[in-house]
Amino acid sequence: MTRVLSGIQPSGALHLGNLLGAVRNWVVDQHEADSFFCVVDLHALTSVQDPAALRDNTLQLAQLLIACGLDPAVCTLFVQSHVRAHTELAWLMECTVSFGELRRMTQFKDKSDKAEFVSAALFTYPALMAADILLYDTDRVPVGDDQRQHLELTRDVAIRFNSRYGDTFVVPEAAIPKAGARVMDLQQPSNKMSKSLDSPQGTIGVLDPLKDIEKKIKRAVTDTDGEIRYDPATKPGVSNLLSILAACTGRTPEQAAEGYTQYGPLKADTAAAVVDTLTPIQRRFEELRADPAETARLLAVGADKAASVADEVLGRARNAIGLLPR
Ligand code: ATP
Ligand code: LTN
């Protein structure tokens, strides 16, 4: 059976980009593949976090993933730091990736330009991500378009390790969705919608009040030529609305554009489609929130299942690289 793994950081509120670019596809994957999904709390530590907020965000994100449709009885849902093998394999990955490769990562450039404190871990972050993926003999990694470069690096590192030390890791492939792979900020449509870009009016939180979501979409930046067509290069704002509408209604952006001649109705229908998508998620989240102990129990079961796979692969890697067995 195909093995799938993906991860998401508890670094802020889940937004529509995370949902359409990643999480929604995980919900489908869990029924078709042996699937592992982790809340990557160690990755969130690459920027300074308030400890209490990190704990709350980690639990809340797990609940939100369940509310979005991940079923812990079907997939393996766990917290990255609960499986010690991730940090251990990350060291072996740091020893396999080159400084030059890490320096070419555009996410590092973007994030380090904006950060006040640039941790060493922000730079080596892709080594930990490679460990997350390679620990599970992963075939497919469903992610948004922004993770393409990290996935390429993971493949290169796996291939290099295998050729230096013998066949150890499965070489994974990225799975990037056709619609929703790159949801843009509503106010600055040349930037991707992001947890860490400080743009509350441009970001649709999955838990935002529905009235606020309607307002944000009505105020989304468009352009002045009044034409409705999908053309991200010259019409980024309108194209972003079409992508969102398409992803929420199971069509292509070109199909979604058909029949519209004015921005008003396009915005109204996009808002309605987003509200329809988020309403059941918000309802289910409220129920789950009432029982944090149950979520913690589910995550412990997930961590045990994950560790049993990860420990085996880590053992293989330790052995291949020449660490003395104890
Ligand atoms: P940050 O902005 O802090 O880097 P993020 O919003 O990019 O965070 P992550 O936890 O890094 O969120 O990503 C989780 C998943 O969501 C990844 O698969 C990523 O590719 C996807 N994703 C993030 N932003 C978008 C977006 N704007 N459009 C589509 N997919 C996205
Ligand atoms: N780097 C990713 C989050 C992430 C991830 C992973 C995604 C960490 N580990 C493993 C897929 C597989 C991000 O910033 N979105």
Distance CA 140, CA 22 (A): 13
Find the 205 Cα to ligand 1 centroid distance in Å.
Answer: 12
Find the 7 Cα to ligand 2 centroid distance in Å.
Answer: 5
Average pLDDT over every residue of 244-268:
94
Is the pLDDT at 130 greater than 90, yes or no? yes
Is the pLDDT at 245 greater than 90, yes or no? yes
Is the pLDDT at 12 greater than 90, yes or no? no
Enumerate the β-bridge partners of residue 141: 174
**pLDDT value of residue 198:** 80
Active site residues: 111, 192, 195
Closest residue by CA, ligand 2 atom 6 = 7
pLDDT tens-digit map of 91-107? 999 999 999 999 999 99
Is the shortest distance between the CB of 143 and ligand 2 below 6 Å?
Answer: yes
184 φ, ψ (degrees, to nearest 5)? -100, 165
Average pLDDT over every residue of 168-192:
92
pLDDT band at 179; cut points 50, 70, 90: confident
DSSP 174: E
- Give the CATH H-level superfamily of domain 3-180+291-321: HUPs (3.40.50.620)
Q: Which residue type sits at 57?
A: N
pLDDT band at 167; cut points 50, 70, 90: very high
Q: What tokens were used for 276?
A: 């329809």
**pLDDT value of residue 177:** 86
Closest residue by CA, ligand 2 atom 15 = 8
* CATH no. for 210-287: 1.10.240.10
Average pLDDT over every residue of 193-208:
90
**pLDDT value of residue 180:** 76
Q: Is 169 exposed, middle or buried (0-12, 13-18, 19+ CB in 10 A)?
A: buried
Average pLDDT over every residue of 296-302:
98
Find the 131 Cα to ligand 2 centroid distance in Å.
Answer: 10
pLDDT tens-digit map of 16-26? 999 999 999 99
Is the shortest distance between the CB of 267 and ligand 2 below 6 Å?
Answer: no
Residue spans per domain, the chain = 3-180+291-321, 210-287
**Of 59, 76, 70, nearest in space to 24 by CA:** 70
Enumerate the β-bridge partners of residue 191: none
Is the pLDDT at 197 greater than 80, yes or no? no
pLDDT band at 195; cut points 50, 70, 90: confident
pLDDT tens-digit map of 35-67? 999 999 999 999 999 999 999 999 999 999 999
Q: What tokens were used for 145?
A: 């378009």
Closest residue by CA, ligand 1 atom 16 = 18
**pLDDT value of residue 326:** 87
Asked whether 39 and 5 are in contact (CB, 8 A), the reply is no
**pLDDT value of residue 181:** 83
Say which ligand is closest to the CA of 125. Answer: 2
Average pLDDT over every residue of 110-124:
94
pLDDT tens-digit map of 131-151? 999 999 999 999 999 999 999
Is the pLDDT at 276 greater than 90, yes or no? yes
To test ligand 1's pocket by mutation, which of 5, 6, 18, 138 has the most ligand atoms within 8 angstroms of CB? 18
**pLDDT value of residue 96:** 98
**pLDDT value of residue 178:** 80
Enumerate the β-bridge partners of residue 39: 8, 79
Residue spans of alpha helices (H) in 104-147:
106-114, 120-134
